[in-house]
Amino acid sequence: MDITINGLFQFGGISNKDLLVHNDLYYLDNNGKWNYIDVYGEKPSPRHGMFMISFDSQKFLLILGGKDVNNNYINDLWVYDINDIQWLKIGNYENIVNFPKDRFLSNGINNKNYGIILLYESMDTNDNNLYIIDIVF
């Protein structure tokens, strides 16, 4: 499968039919076909409503937070390497200073000029602070 920066990624989510929460990764190619990506190693737990964005010239995907099948917050941060086809767990609220906890249906943007991701707002909490995520590899 030829994954280019012109495609679209989908991770996780909740199905309307059976209310199952998933942790699958799919890629929508330029022909409009969804492709399942079989990743190597550990991957994020099933979740929905997480924040996901591409960064570093769209070589990586970042996911943060979301909720599990029981509607509990998931407070961790993962990066997916598109070239290596694997997830890397960056950490969670216990080992990252000023971690934006309890994020569900958050918004954010990738500021390519500064190489940072700006994260703001969360649907369920009163935390409307602006967080700067600066990931360096």
Chain segment 87-97, per-residue pLDDT in tens? 999 887 777 77
Render pLDDT for 60-72 as a digit per residue (tens, 0 to 9): 888 988 999 999 9
CA 26 to chain centre: 13
Any residues with CB less than 8 A from the CB of 70 and at least 6 apart, and which? none
Which pLDDT score, from 0 to 100, does residue 34 have? Answer: 92
Contact 82, 88 (CB under 8 A): no
The pLDDT tens digits for 38-53 are: 988 899 999 999 988 8
- The pTM assigned to this predicted structure is 0.83
The full set of domain ranges for the chain reads: 8-98
Given a cut of 70, is residue 136 above it in pLDDT?
Answer: no
